[in-house]
């Protein structure tokens, strides 16, 4: 079994955990299957009612002609970028320095697809219209991640997004959305997923972030694009004989949670407010635009870790299971608000943060 | 919903189906999960007890240092070939003209990995030692599929396999096994999977053929090879946050069925014997070396299809759900013997084949 840190252990033992929907356990799949007719036929290599119905449903939800279900977002986005590069005949794309493709995929875009990325904007900032205006005009595709996860989940204004979209359209540059957290930003923009997606040529969405499924992704676009993406799905080794464990759970939890995104956003704003009232703590962004944000605490990791462990033991409230070092003497962690927050006794949460505030004030 | 052929419909309605373990339905997963503790934690991006234990178990079973669980065999084999090519610095491999990579993967080896295959042997024959001796000596890897599925599931003698292995070792050519049906051939060779695997540098096995899982593959080899394969798993988009639906079912059905391979083989020989007693029918191979074989019927498809539909309706026995044209006036289908065969009243099976024999004799 993988080793757990002391902080993860302490977090695990708390009565109330603040982030997320719940533990990642087998029960999440089991409780979905208990509601499904056992005679329901498996999908087969991309065909069959389970997968076709879900693809149609998500294409409609995203306002695109077609959609394909893929095992992962990593696969979905490489495929999208490859198709747009092949179409324009230029193996060059643009994205943020902290894009998933750049930092979490072992250089796959270069190693598998021989595509060269152009990095836009400073790593601590959003991609702005001026960055787009200054990028080489021969890029085949610009990828925008909404919200930009690695900087706490930030968003440009909708007007700026429209301007970027228009700029790209006028120059024949395809615009692809890393919409891993698209569902989560619809309340902030006050627009439907389809409306936001209409600014993009291709859209990837994930089912294990705000939706809380087990794994899996949808890639949507026009019919030709999706047809070609199925060829690449096969090439990547993603055209499994059966994807139904992921599809059935994605569909189930989508229905359960997609209408709760407004609530998660409100809860994230409340929680960030509580954090920002503490000494030495700031959230990024200060006011979340989705269900997620980053917590920055101006204390070195080796000091903060025992403090949090003590906090969890005394209050029964689990704030985070991990810390990363951020700068010389501070640390950070990500918070995604989900179903757990509503079940949390708020006075106990407030108590835990007051306990922490007091310790941070003294230290 | 996908359209089904009339033959598939008729097959579906039979009381007794001859090939396979059972229908591909959601119940196959549900019945496994019902036996699992719901609190069992998900694997996470390749870590955790579920995935690590199963990888260790399969590495031991295959007699290799390490193993990695992957969503598909397509992914497993491309990764193996890429690693061996990178290691030798030559992007050239050798395999059979009907290898899975050549006919079922949309040219992925070229499109994703820029690897050029050398095709060995005639497409209707096994790769023999002489083919290997005549191949270019600068290939990085030779892939052998045991048994060679597209020609009915045929095998070289074990001595020839040993000679091929020795030839490759002496020349620094890596030998990779497409062992999608490795479990199924251990009775014929009378050797353990580990013993057969010891002739190979890397081995892929599948869990939804004879084992009857839902999907998923293991790739095994030495520790360095497997470590590198995990990087490629990430690049391919196969490093899902959770693979447990596939792993738990692979493990469960492995335990249920791996010791039944001898029975499946015996049953396949019996069934092939019954087919070969019929007019105009021959199996390939005549005597199966695993649980699988191909049935060739010397009647045009448009004549055979209504005959089979009538046969199913009159006898209640389902022989196949599909036919492919094989040559100008004959057709073929694949049979894989599984759990269903033992439950089949043999006099009804014999009756159905006698009915068919009589019709074929008259036609």
Measure CA A144 to chain center: 13
Chain A, residues 103-162, CB within 8 A of chain B, namely 104-108, 111-114
Q: How much is the pLDDT for B345? A: 97
Percentage with pLDDT > 90 across chain B? 98
DSSP B104-154: SSTTHHHHHH-PEEEE-S-TTS---HHHHHTS-TT-SEEEEESSBGGGTSB
Q: How much is the pLDDT for B82? A: 98
Q: How many CB atoms lie within 10 A of CB A345?
A: 12
Phi, psi of A296 (to 5 degrees): -110, 125
pLDDT digits 0-9 by tens, B27-76:
999 999 999 999 999 999 999 999 999 999 999 999 999 999 999 999 99
- Helix/strand/coil for B213: coil
Chain A, residues 172-231, CB within 8 A of chain B, namely 208, 214-215, 231
pLDDT digits 0-9 by tens, B321-342:
999 999 889 999 999 999 999 9
Complex-level ipTM:
0.97
**What is the dihedral sign for C-alpha A139, A144, A149, A153?**
positive
- Helix/strand/coil for B33: helix
| Bridge partner list, B117 | B93
How confident is residue B1, by pLDDT bands cut at 50, 70 and 90? very low
Would you call A37 an interface residue with chain B, using a CB distance cutoff of 8 Å? yes
- Cα–Cα–Cα angle for B64, B46, B203, rounded to 5 degrees: 25
Q: How much is the pLDDT for A363? A: 80
Alpha-helical runs (H) found in chain B: 6-12, 27-33, 49-62, 73-88, 100-103, 108-113, 129-133, 158-170, 182-189, 193-197, 223-236, 244-257, 261-276, 301-315, 339-343, 346-362
In angstroms, the CA A77 to CA A73 distance is 6
Q: How much is the pLDDT for A232? A: 98
CATH code that applies to domain B6-23+260-362: 3.90.1150.10
| Cβ–Cβ gap B38/A47 under 8 Å | no
Q: CB-side exposure of B62: number of CA atoms within 13 Å?
A: 30
Q: Which listed CATH number (3.40.50.720, 3.90.1150.10, 3.40.50.150, 2.60.40.10) goes with A6-21+260-362? A: 3.90.1150.10
How confident is residue B363, by pLDDT bands cut at 50, 70 and 90? confident
| Bridge partner list, B325 | B331
pLDDT digits 0-9 by tens, B231-241:
999 999 999 99
**Nearest-CB residue to A25 (from B39, B208, B246):** B39
Selection from B274, B272, B276 nearest residue B293 by Cα: B272
**Nearest-CB residue to A71 (from B71, B105, B108):** B71
- Helix/strand/coil for A265: helix
In angstroms, the CA A81 to CA A202 distance is 9
Q: Is the pLDDT of residue B285 over 90?
A: yes
Is the distance from CB of A318 to CB of A309 less than 8 angstroms?
Answer: no
- Residue B128 tokens, joined: 């023999």
Please report where in the chains the tokens 């036929």 appear, as a residue: A41
> Which residue intervals of chain B bear CATH 3.90.1150.10?
6-23+260-362
Q: In what order do the strands lie in the sheet with B202-206?
A: B66-70, B217-221, B202-206, B174-179, B141-145, B92-95, B116-119
Residues of chain B found within 8 Å of residue A241, distances taken between Cβ atoms:
24, 208, 214-215
Selection from A20, A23, A17, A22 nearest residue A317 by Cα: A17
H helices, E strands: number in chain A: 16, 13
User: Mean pLDDT per 10-residue run, chain A (363 residues)?
Assistant: 79 98 96 96 97 98 98 98 98 98 98 98 97 97 98 98 98 98 98 98 98 98 98 98 98 98 98 98 98 98 97 98 94 98 97 98 88
DSSP state of B127: -
Assign residue B121 a region: left if phi > 0, alpha if psi is -120 to 50, beta otherwise? left
> Which residue intervals of chain B bear CATH 3.40.640.10?
43-241
Q: How much is the pLDDT for B3? A: 56
Q: How much is the pLDDT for A147? A: 98
- Residue A52 tokens, joined: 């076709």
| Domain spanning B43-241, CATH architecture | 3-Layer(aba) Sandwich (3.40)
The reported pTM is: 0.97
- Cα–Cα–Cα angle for B106, A208, A23, rounded to 5 degrees: 135
**What is the dihedral sign for C-alpha A289, A293, A299, A300?**
negative
- Helix/strand/coil for B206: strand
Q: CB-side exposure of B253: number of CA atoms within 13 Å?
A: 28
DSSP A139-164: -SEEEEESSBGGGTSB---HHHHHHH
pLDDT digits 0-9 by tens, B113-122:
999 999 999 9
> Which residue intervals of chain A bear CATH 3.90.1150.10?
6-21+260-362
């Amino acid at each position: 079994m993988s080793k757990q840190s002391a902080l993860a252990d302490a977090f695990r033992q708390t009565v109330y955990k603040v982030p997320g929907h719940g533990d990642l356990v087998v029960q999440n799949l089991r409780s979905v299957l208990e509601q499904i007719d056992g005679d329901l036929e498996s999908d087969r290599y991309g065909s069959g009612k389970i997968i076709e119905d879900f693809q149609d449903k998500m294409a409609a939800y995203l306002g695109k002609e077609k959609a394909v279900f893929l095992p992962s977002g990593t696969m979905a986005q490489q495929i999208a970028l490859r198709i747009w590069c092949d179409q324009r005949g230029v193996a060059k794309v643009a994205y943020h320095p902290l894009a998933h493709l750049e930092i979490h995929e072992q250089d796959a875009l270069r190693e598998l697809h021989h595509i060269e990325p152009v990095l836009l904007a400073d790593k601590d900032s959003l991609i702005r219209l001026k960055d787009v205006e200054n990028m080489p005009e021969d890029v085949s595709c610009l990828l925008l991640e909404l919200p930009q996860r690695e900087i706490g989940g930030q968003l440009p204004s909708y007007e700026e997004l429209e301007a970027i979209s228009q700029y790209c359209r006028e120059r024949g540059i395809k615009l692809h959305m890393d919409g891993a957290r698209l569902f989560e930003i619809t309340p902030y923009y006050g627009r439907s997923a389809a409306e936001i997606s209409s600014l993009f040529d291709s859209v990837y969405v994930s089912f294990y972030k705000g939706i809380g499924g087990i794994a899996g992704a949808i890639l949507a676009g026009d019919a030709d694009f999706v047809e070609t993406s199925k060829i690449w799905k096969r090439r990547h080794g993603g055209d499994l004989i059966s994807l139904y464990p992921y599809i059935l759970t994605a569909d189930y939890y989508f229905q359960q949670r997609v209408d709760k995104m407004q609530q998660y956003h409100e809860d994230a704003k409340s929680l960030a407010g509580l954090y920002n009232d503490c000494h030495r703590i700031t959230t990024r962004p200060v006011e979340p635009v989705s269900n997620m944000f980053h917590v920055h605490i101006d204390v070195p990791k080796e000091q903060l870790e025992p403090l949090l462990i003590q906090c969890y033991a005394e209050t029964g409230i689990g704030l985070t299971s991990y810390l990363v070092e951020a700068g010389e003497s501070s640390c950070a962690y990500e918070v995604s608000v989900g179903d757990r927050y509503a079940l949390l006794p708020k006075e106990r949460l407030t108590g835990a943060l007051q306990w922490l505030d007091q310790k941070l004030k003294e230290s």
